[in-house]
Structure 1
Amino acid sequence: MDNSGFEKLFAGAPLMAILRGMGAERSLAVSTTAWDLGIDVVELPIQTPDDVEALRVVAAAGRERGKVVGAGTVVSAEHVAQAASAGAAFTVSPGLDLDVVRASHEAGMLSIPGVGTATEVQLAMKAGLTWLKAFPASVLGVPWLGAMRGPFPQARFVATGGMNAANAGEYLRGGASVVAVGSALEDAAQLPLLAGLLEGTGRK
């Protein structure tokens, strides 16, 4: 179960947008803010029928703009099927469930499992997965990322949970390949800081 395709998907971009429970109209508006800012990859967690509809709307808009949209909080085969039918390009899970990863790949979607321990990182990498979601990143902390780099130098972490413009840079410097931000995209004061992070990678 190789998910190294995320290397190309993120294309060196340090930020991903997560839009949770916003509904279709607001999700589309915030996705547009993200895309205009230079954040190409958007994730919409799917926990309700409204979430799935929002994913469908944003995925369609993303395809028109050449942007990548995925489904988050995917914890079952049913979620995988919903994500695929809504047009998601990838799935993200809060924990490590290889059945969900396998089902996602079989449905043509890349998949990132969540990890929070060395055991989970080792199991994920044993299965061929190099891109992993560090969750909840704000609880794990920056030192956790550094500690994982020693035994698992091939691992690529997407720091998720409690991330914003103020701490994203610290997590990126500490070993995260990507930081996922959400509410920061609706805070006008944080947008220039996010843009600064993108400028540092030549994405803006």
Structure 2
Amino acid sequence: MTDNSMFDEILGGIPLMAILRGMGVERSLAVATTAWDLGIEAVEVPVQTPTDVEALRVVAEAAAARGFRVGAGTVVTPEHVRQAKDAGAAFTVSPGFDVEVVRASHDAGLPALPGVATATEVQRALREGLTWMKAFPASLLGAGWFGAMHGPFPQATFVATGRMDAAAAPTFLKAGVRVVAVGSALEDPAQLPALAQLLA
């Protein structure tokens, strides 16, 4: 049995998370710093290439100096879990639900945020002891999906990921999403300030 209730602390008070996908080391650090300065404390760095892993290490080090924690994203193998741990990640995020990856992350001391898109996956995640889940791809699932899941699974807490931006975030938050994670939209430098306005 695993457990990811630590996300109550890591993400519980923050309705937004920035995903720094494929930005390289310097830009990842710059965007993370901007996010932190604007009050968006939660940051995820996907680990798909060696450069990504180095970006995670640099961003995690900078986050620790501020008392923040950074997650490793697109974690799809136990090897990714090891790389995340070595780079200083505080948690892992996956696009899908893989019990082996979840358990490897748990054993490494990193709470896992698995991806789900169906009632079956939500039920399996809950049976594994996971109450926090990443709904992906949220834009295709639609805001109504979250209300539908809340009925049979009131104990599930969702992070909406997948083509999210500052315009969509309020709709999903009103639908019961705890955190909206924004990735590709951050290519637009206006997105972080617009997202920060939602924190006001």
Q: Is the 8 A contact 1:33 1:185 kept in 2?
A: no
CA distance in 2, matches of 1:131, 1:4: 7
Structure 2 counterpart SS, 1:2 = coil
Distance 1:19 1:135 in 2: 17
What is the CA distance between 1:187 and its match in structure 2?
3.1
Aligned twin of 2:158: 157
- Matching residue of 2:178: 177
- The equivalent of 1:57 in structure 2 is 58
Q: Deviations over 1:5-47 (max 9, x none)?
A: 1011113210011000001000000000110011111100000
Distance 2:193 2:10 in 1: 24
Which position in structure 1 is the counterpart of 2:96?
A: 95
Q: 1:179 to 1:87 in 2, by over 3 A?
A: same
**How many pairs does the alignment contain?**
199
- Following superposition, the deviation at residue 142 of structure 1 comes to 0.4
**Ranges in structure 2 where 5+ consecutive residues have no aligned partner:** none
- Over aligned residue pairs, what C-alpha RMSD do you find? 1.1
| Partner of residue 35, structure 1 | 36
Matches within 5 A, 1:1-204: 1-199=2-200
1 CA distance for matches of 2:106 and 2:116? Answer: 18
Shift of 1:175: 1.4
Query: Given that residues 73 and 93 in structure 2 are in contact (C-alpha distance below 8 angstroms), is that contact kept between their aligned partners in structure 1?
Result: yes
Partner of 1:51, secondary structure, is: helix
Q: Distance in 1 between matches of 2:180 and 2:132?
A: 13
- Quick one: distance in 1 between partners of 2:179 and 2:6? 14
Q: Given that residues 37 and 195 in structure 1 are in contact (C-alpha distance below 8 angstroms), is that contact kept between their aligned partners in structure 2?
A: yes
Give the AA of the match of 2:61. A
What is the distance in 2 between the residues matched to 1:191 and 1:16?
A: 10
Whole-Å separation in 2 of the counterparts to 1:192 and 1:92: 24
Unpaired segments ≥5 residues, structure 1: 200-204
Q: Kindly state the Cα deviation for residue 196 of structure 1 after the two structures are TM-superposed.
A: 2.0
Structure 1 contact 30–186 (Cα < 8 Å) conserved: no
Partner of 1:198, secondary structure, is coil
CA distance in 1, matches of 2:27, 2:73: 17
Q: Which amino acid aligns with 1:42?
A: V
Distance 1:185 1:79 in 2: 24
Write the letter of the residue equivalent to 1:195.
A
CA contact (8 A) 2:163 2:185 kept: no
Provide the rounded CA distance (Å) in 2 between the counterparts of 1:188 and 1:53.
23
Normalised by the length of structure 1, the TM-score is 0.94
Residues 184, 191 of structure 1: 8 Å contact kept: no
Aligned to 1:202: none
